[in-house]
């Protein structure tokens, strides 16, 4: 019968200093009539079902879908940056 051994592992990250977290944009108080870009990069896998589900669950949202089958994410244009209310960036491989 083998002895029970206790192994001690060290975290390779080391000590992490706390960081201040700040949002990139303010939160939307509701989604009614908002324009949200759903940007998909890479192979369409879970995003096919997610796109259908989002459209079913949030019909009041004006969805704009951008798809790219490359490794570079779809970037918002200058005009979109000014007018779009929200962005969902999906990267799938």
Q: How many residues does the chain have?
A: 93
Q: pLDDT, tens digit, for every residue of 26-73?
A: 788 899 999 999 998 888 788 889 999 999 999 999 999 998 888 888
Q: What's the pLDDT band for 83 if we cut at 50, 70, 90?
A: very high
- Report the side by side order of strands in the sheet with 35-42: 62-68, 35-42, 86-92
Q: Where are the domains of the chain?
A: 35-92
- Burial environment of residue 38 by CB neighbours within 10 A (0 to 12, 13 to 18, 19 or more): buried
């Amino acid at each position: 019968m083998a002895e029970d051994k206790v192994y001690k592992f060290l975290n390779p990250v080391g000590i992490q200093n706390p960081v201040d977290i700040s949002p990139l944009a303010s939160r939307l108080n509701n989604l009614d009539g908002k324009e949200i870009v759903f940007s998909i990069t890479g192979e369409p896998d879970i995003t096919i079902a997610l796109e259908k589900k989002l459209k079913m669950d949030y019909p009041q949202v004006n969805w704009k879908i951008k798809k790219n089958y490359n490794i570079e994410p779809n970037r918002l244009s200058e005009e979109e940056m000014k007018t779009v209310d929200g962005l969902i960036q999906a990267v799938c491989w």
